[in-house]
Amino acid sequence: METLLLDANTWLLVLTGAGVSAESGVPTFRGMNGLWEDQPVTEVASPRGFAKDPLRVWRFYSQRRAGAADVSPNPGHDALVAWERHLGDRFLLATQNVDGLHRRAGSQRVVEMHGNLFTSRCSNPDCTRPPFPDTTVYASGTVPGCKECGALLRPHIVWFGEQLDPDDLTRIESFAVKAMRSGGRLVFLAAGTSGAVYPAAGMVDNVRAAGGETWLVNLDASENASSFEHFVQGKSGEVLPKLGRLV
């Protein structure tokens, strides 16, 4: 297998998707037994779906919260922690995953681009209450209300049709700009993602346009696999621990 040199000249930007959590027992979205197989995205992961049937949305997210509460990080998560400890501020992890497993594994330089399952927020845009940690698995038939304004609470997740947090995008972009300005070697590695959802799926093109090196670690060829210079096919929990050569 090819190895990825992680030396003093390397700046590494990693993007992970549901495939990195699959070996921890967290379901992916697409492909066999994917979450979107039996749950229409528009009904359970969109503002319109929430407005139409908040009970159904909370039932879906409560099930995912319960499922993600009793799983553990796998060797793929652990490898990324080791890379971060080796590279320091020349490492940044952007994850599409909302299961919190990267932080539980010990990753600190993490941007949770699509939010977090264990955070809720008020659905009233005028409410002053900020998003807050919430591990409650609400019983079916319950839609929690905001203590401050009484509006419905919602999961702090970026739904389809919603914008990502601009601060998150700025942090990712600034990292890449800093890497290029340093004269170092910018490497972008995507792991466990189908490349189906933007802007995450477009990161590879941005890095290539900036002259960076691009790697894909995935169980099968993702939609944007041809955009990557290196493609290491396999399970991230098996590939990542062997891929990085820390010098």
Question: How many CA atoms are closer than 13 Å to the CA of 96, on its beta-carbon side?
Answer: 23
23 counts as binding ligand APR under rule CB under 6 A: yes
Least distance to ligand APR, CB of residue 22, Å? 4
> In the set 62, 116, 224, 236, which binds ligand APR (CB under 6 A)?
236
Q: CA-to-CA distance for 158 and 25, rounded, in angstroms? A: 22
Stretch that binds ligand APR, among 21-29, 119-127, 129-137, 208-216 (CB under 6 A): 21-29
What residues have CB less than 8 Å from 217, skipping those under 6 apart? 189, 190, 191, 192, 232, 234, 236, 239, 240, 243
Least distance to ligand APR, CB of residue 29, Å? 4
Nearer to ligand APR, 71 or 219 (CB): 219
As given in the structure block, the two tokens for residue 34 are: 């994917």
116 counts as binding ligand APR under rule CB under 6 A: no
> In the set 220, 226, 229, 247, which binds ligand APR (CB under 6 A)?
220
For residues 95 and 81, is the Cβ–Cβ distance under 8 A? Answer: no
112 counts as binding ligand APR under rule CB under 6 A: no
What residues have CB less than 8 Å from 144, skipping those under 6 apart? 58, 120, 136, 138, 152, 153
> In the set 10, 107, 193, 227, which binds ligand APR (CB under 6 A)?
193
Q: CA-to-CA distance for 113 and 87, rounded, in angstroms? A: 21
227 counts as binding ligand APR under rule CB under 6 A: no
> How far separated are the first and last CA of the chain, in Å rounded?
18
For residues 113 and 93, is the Cβ–Cβ distance under 8 A? Answer: no
Least distance to ligand APR, CB of residue 45, Å? 7
29 counts as binding ligand APR under rule CB under 6 A: yes
Q: CA-to-CA distance for 85 and 45, rounded, in angstroms? A: 34
Of 77, 102, 114, 156, catalytic: 114
114 is annotated as an active-site residue: yes
- Among all residues, which ones are annotated catalytic? 114
Applying CB under 6 A, the residues found at the interface with ligand APR are 17-19, 22-23, 28-31, 34, 96, 114, 192-194, 196-197, 218-220, 222, 235-236
